[in-house]
Amino acid sequence: MRSGERTFFGHPWGLATLFGTELWERFSWYGLRAILATFLIASPANKGLGMTQETAQAVVGVYGALIYLVALPGGWVADRILGARRSVLWGGFVIMCGHISMAIPVSTPAFVWLGLLLIIVGTGLLKPNISVMVGRLYPEEDDARRDAGFSLFYLGINLGAFIAPIVVGWLADGDRWHLGFSAAAVGMALGLAQYVWGGRNLSGVGERPGVLLSPRERRRFGGVAAGAVLAVAAALGLWAASGTLTVSRLTLAITVVILVVPIAYFAYIMLGSHDLTEDERIRMKAYIWLFVAAAIFWMIYDLAPSKLLFFAENNTRLSLFGVPIHAATTQAFNPLFIMIFVPVFAALWVKLGNRVSTPQKFGFALVMVGLSFVIMAVAARLAEGGKVSVWWLVLVYLVQVFGELSLSPVGLSVTTKLAPEAFKGQMLGVWFIAVSVGDAVGGQTGRLTRVLSEPMYYLVLAVMAVAAGVALFLFTRRLREMMAEHHEAAIR
C-alpha cells in the first residue's frame, strides 16, 4: 500500500467497498430467510401460500442447499467467462430482481418461485467471487493483513445478518410479507449502488477471468448449458403432466440429486488414478469422514429459519426484557453471539495450539449442536402445557454458536490441507457442498414429525449428532494418523 493512501481501518480502501456490498447482500439474504418459512405456511387469507410446516421446512432446506451448491458453477463462470468483478455485479443485480419478483403483491405463487430461483442464481455468482476479491486486495506475501481483512469482512456479514431479521420482521408484521421482501430488494440495491460507486477503489481486482474461454469453448459451454436447461424443463413438464408433481415431492427429488453430487465426486477422486499418491488417498479417506460430520452439523444448525422459527412463532412468549419482539427477530440471536464470541474462540484456539486436533474440534461442534436440540426437546415438552419463554431459544442459539465456531473456521483450512494436489482448487467448493447436503437433508427431517412427537423429533436428531461427535472423539488418534496430523501433544 502506498504511503498516504486512504485506508479502511488500516486496510486497502477497496475492502470498504466489498465490506458494504457483502453487508447489504447478507441483509437481503437473512432478511428473506427470517420470514420465508412463516410466509410459506401462512394461509392465503393471510396473504401466504398455505403450505404445511413439513413442506415449508423442505422448501427452505432445499433453497438453502441450492444457494451453497451453485457456488461451484458460480466460481467457474467468474474464472472462465465474466471475471470476479462482473460476476459480483451481475449476481447482485439478479438477486435484487429476485427480491423484487417476490415483492410483487399478487396472489399467484409464480413470482415467489421465480424470485427464489433468481436469488439462487445471483448468489451463486456473487457469494464465492466477492470473497476471492477480498483476498486479491493484498499482496501474496501479506498473509497477516489478509487474515485481518477477512475478519473485518466477516464482521460485515454478521452485521447484515443481525440487523436484517429485526428490520424485515418488523416490516412484514401484520401479513405485510411483500413489504418485507421489498426491504430485502432495497438492501441489495444499496449494496449494488455502493459497489458501483466504490469500484474505482478496487484497483482492477477481478476485472479479468483467470483463464478466458476460447470462442469454441464458449459455444460448447452455451450448448451444454442450454441442453441442460431444456432437459430439466422437459423432465419437470412431463412430471407435471403426469399429475404427480407436488412441491413436497420436488424438494425430495432435489435432495436426492444433491446427495448424489458428493458421492459421485468422491468416487471420481478415489476410484480414478489422477496420479494421486498413497498418502493423498489416505488423507482423502479421512476428509470424507469429516465431510459427513460437517453435513450432520449443518443438518441441525440450519433448521433455524424453519423448525426453530415455527417454534418461536407458535410456542414462545415473544418478549425480551419486557419488550415485545417478532418471531423473525429470534433469527438475530445467532449472528449477535457470533460477533461476541469470535474473538474469544480465536484466542482460545491460539492458546490451546496443537493440543486440540481437527477431529476433536469437529466432535465438540457435533456434541454442542446435539446438546442444543436436547434443550429444544425440553422446551418442546414444556410447550405442550402452554407457551414458554423465548429465552429457551436464546440458550439454544448460544450453544449452537459454540459449535459453529469450533467447526466452521477450520472447515476450509482442513479442506485445503487434505486436498490432493490435483484437486486443490476444486476442493475449496467441496466444503460448501457439505453445507448443501446438510441443509437439504435437514429440510426433509420434517417428515419425521408424522411419526414422532415434537420433543422426540428433537431428541432423535440430538442423539444422531452426539453419537457422531463421540465417534470422532473415539477415532481421533486414527483420523490424525490418516491426516498426518501428528502433533507433538498426541505423541507424548
Closest by CA position to 428, among listed 452, 412, 450: 412
Which residue shows C-alpha cell 476410484? Answer: 271
Please give the angle made by the CA atoms of 470, 475 and 476, to the nearest 5 degrees: 95
3-state secondary structure of 389: strand
Give the side-chain half-sphere CA count within 13 A for 417.
14
Q: What is the pTM assigned to this prediction? A: 0.90
CB atoms within 10 A of CB 477: 11
- Helix or strand (DSSP H, E) at 294: helix 278-301
Report how far apart, in Å, the C-alpha atoms of 356 and of each of 205, 289, 297 are.
37, 18, 19
Q: Tell me how far apart the alpha carbons of residues 353 and 347 are, in angstroms, rounded to a whole number.
A: 10
Q: Tell me how far apart the alpha carbons of residues 294 and 436 are, in angstroms, rounded to a whole number.
A: 10
pLDDT 10s per residue in the chain (492 long)?
454 556 666 677 778 888 888 899 999 999 999 999 999 999 999 999 999 999 999 999 999 999 999 888 888 888 888 888 888 999 999 999 999 999 998 878 999 999 999 999 999 888 888 877 877 777 766 656 666 677 777 888 889 999 999 999 999 999 999 999 999 999 999 999 988 888 787 877 777 777 788 888 888 988 998 999 999 999 999 999 999 999 999 999 999 999 999 999 899 888 877 778 888 888 889 999 999 999 999 999 999 999 999 999 999 999 999 999 999 999 999 999 999 998 888 788 778 777 888 899 999 999 999 999 999 999 999 999 999 999 999 999 999 999 999 898 778 778 777 878 777 666 767 888 999 999 999 999 999 999 999 999 999 999 999 999 999 999 988 888 888 765 433 332
Cell of 280: 493423498
The residues facing 8 across adjacent strands are 11
DSSP 208: S
CB atoms within 10 A of CB 141: 7
Report how far apart, in Å, the C-alpha atoms of 378 and of each of 264, 372, 388, 455 are.
39, 10, 11, 7
- Cα 195 off chain centre by: 22
Q: Tell me how far apart the alpha carbons of residues 71 and 491 are, in angstroms, rounded to a whole number.
A: 39
CB 69 within 8 A of CB 433: yes
DSSP 214: P
Task: Please name the residues in contact with 101: beta carbons below 8 A apart, sequence gap of 6 or more.
Answer: 111, 112, 114, 115, 118
- At 133, the amino acid letter reads M
CB 31 within 8 A of CB 188: no
